[in-house]
Amino acid sequence: MTAAASLLRRLRWAPRAGATAQQPSFARRVLHSRASVLGLVLLLLVVAAGTLGRLWFPGDPWEMSGPPMLWPGEDRAFPLGTDFMGRDLVTGLVAGAGVSLLIGLVSTLLSATLGVAIGALAGYFRGGVDAVLLRLIELFQTVPSFVLAVVLVSLFKPSVATAVFAIGIVSWPPTARLVRSEFLQLREREFVLAGRTLGMGHARLILTQILPNALPPVVVVSTLSVAHAIQTEAALAFLGLGDPNVMSWGTLIGIGREQVVDAWYICGLPGLAIIVTVLGFSLLGEGLNDALNPHLRKR
């Protein structure tokens, strides 16, 4: 049994063919990518706005605190101007940063959990289990994800929890397909066969042997899923399906849509914040892909 366990460890952690003896650490590979560094800087700015920004602008984003329709820079007390009801836009943007990031991260966690669980079961057991779960994945993919999200939010009371649930439910199929593909390849590897020889059960093989090796591409996809979730939440809020008691970037865009010709900045500023955040996650995902992809490490 000791010899078999030693064989399992060697097979599982053996370096890939052609790999050098000394590989740079994962953190160094990520920081070596200009795309990931730029993405991290952008995301740190957004996170700082959503956290430290609340200390500088602690007011209520719904409060009518100044003259309506002030343009950015017109009044020092309102550096980014006000909307048609006199609400401070910088306070709304700072408050919306935390809400949009929260919805994006939690809904992505939900979709990743569902996708990993369903994809792992389908790829590991194959046969009838794979056929049933694959039909379920295809069923969700036949319906446009945004339309399904609108339907789910409309069925319940619009809230942050409802938005998280709807976005998470419609976003898991791509992750499930990716994990299924990884499991189909990894389940036949030598370290899995050695684990079966040691008498490991299905749950232990999935959780301790296959899943850790299948997670790197899921991490990359999840960073892009956060960006997509933020865009989806903004679209829902723009349509009036957001939480009426919570200020988000999508809510700000919806507030200013009727004044877009006369005061484009009301929609433009939160739109710019969404663009910066989505760009940050996209660049970070690109850098993670370069760091985790063994074929790109040699560049």
Whole-angstrom CA distances from 25 to 9, 297, 299 are 20, 11, 15
- What pLDDT is recorded for position 55? 85
CA distance 113 to 107: 10
CA distance 183 to 123: 5
Query: Structure pTM?
Result: 0.83
- pLDDT averaged over consecutive 10-residue blocks of the chain (299 residues)? 47 42 62 83 91 86 88 88 90 91 94 95 92 93 91 88 94 94 90 86 89 88 91 89 87 85 88 93 84 56
Query: Which of 232, 283, 220 minimizes the C-alpha distance to 104?
Result: 232
User: Please, is 169 exposed, middle or buried when counting C-beta atoms within 10 Å of its C-beta (0-12, 13-18, 19+)?
Assistant: middle
| Four-point Cα dihedral 8, 10, 16, 20, nearest 10 | 160
Domains of the chain (ranges, CATH numbers): 25-292 (1.10.3720.10)
Query: Could you give the 3-state DSSP secondary structure of residue 86?
Result: coil
CA distance 292 to 75: 48
Angle between helices 89-125 and 127-142 (to 10 degrees): 150
Whole-angstrom CA distances from 245 to 103, 151, 229 are 15, 20, 20
